[in-house]
Structure 1
Amino acid sequence: MPRHPQPNRYYYVQTEPVLLTDSHLDMASVRPAPIRLSKTWLSAFGFRPDSLGHSWVLNDVRLIPGTNCWLCVETRRYLRYVHELQDLFEEHFDLNLSLKINRNAASDINPGHRMRSSENFFTHR
């Protein structure tokens, strides 16, 4: 698991959530901060609550909310931040997780963001 910010991961840069690129990481003035994994972010990635509301599901991936983290049922991995969820999808499922943009999710994550188009919520590496 990488300890330093990696490209293709969402972090806060100043107060904005940003999908980091190599150019962000090359700039000394950019200090990425981890983004806490929340229901809003899960929804933006395409996760939905199960019928009982006890977990959040995307395809065969099930996350259970805890006090300060989320637990992936399949891998038994605890997740606190958005980039950790992206790492999990890449390492264990060989998928790149990306936002499925919709009007509500985009405005909840970043109120200034205007929706441009719909995206897939994950793509194969």
Structure 2
Amino acid sequence: MSGAAIYIQRDLKISDVQIEILLGMINLFSLVGSCLSGRTSDWIGRRYTIALAGANLFAGAILMGFSPNYAFLMFGRFVAGIGIGYGAVVASVYIAEISPASSRGFLTSFPEVGFYFSSFLYSIFAH
């Protein structure tokens, strides 16, 4: 999203403050999703909650891709943020439940390591 911020700002004719809010609010939106993920996974199960997270991410991407204005773009970010929150919490819990005890620690930390490694690679090659 950071690479597209310049083009979003130009196409939607929004200010720098609106871009900052747009980019930063995903953290707040994912907090909402992570707080809701426990009850949702208890209600419909871990696998279906992971599927719901994927559906939210997909729907959020579609909404953001077709957004004609700032409010619609922010709504798409909200939907995607809910999916990020669901996925971040429930994936680790599900992995911990299905993995054998001998590899549980490695497998539950693997998504975090992958995230930080990809962020590290992005910081090297993006500039």
TM-score tier by shorter-chain length is: under 0.3
Q: Which has the higher contact order (CA 8 A, sep 6+)?
A: 2
The higher radius of gyration belongs to: 2
Normalising by structure 1, report the TM-score.
0.26
Q: Which has the higher helix share?
A: 2
TM-score, structure 2 normalization:
0.26
